[in-house]
Structure 1
Amino acid sequence: MDVSFREDHCRVRKDHALENFVILRHMAMNLLKREKTLKGGIQTKRLKAAWDENYLIKILSA
């Protein structure tokens, strides 16, 4: 998780925010792992989803 989401650099520390962000990261990781049309790692898929709105919609609707 630290390699693809850089968790060690996250400055969220207040109340339950850290736990909430961990849950969101796990959900994102699971969605990206489930998507099989793009060859590449999690970081590549995250970058493509950031640049291409259609790809992001494909990941979220799968």
Structure 2
Amino acid sequence: MNPEQLKLAVQHFSELPDPRTNRGLNQPLINVIVIALCAVLSDADSFYDMEDFGELKRDWLSSFLDLHTGIPSHDTFNRVFARLDPTHFQACVLDW
């Protein structure tokens, strides 16, 4: 993805409601979503792959995401996507 597409992704997905409780907010939702999208577009097919992608591309990702809390773990990707409202997520994808 080029920088403009990434900015649009951040913009569209920042409207996505965060389904997590206060206890599970260590990682910003936008980081989880954008890293997952980039990973899947790069052929990731598991939550482990998403975590690995994030670690490998940390420098690049940090050019447009605030990664002060690090890269989300595979468990974080799993928990977030299990709780996301699919209708809201689909609307964000279609708008993007």
TM-score (norm 1): 0.39
Higher relative contact order (CA 8 A, sep 6+): 2
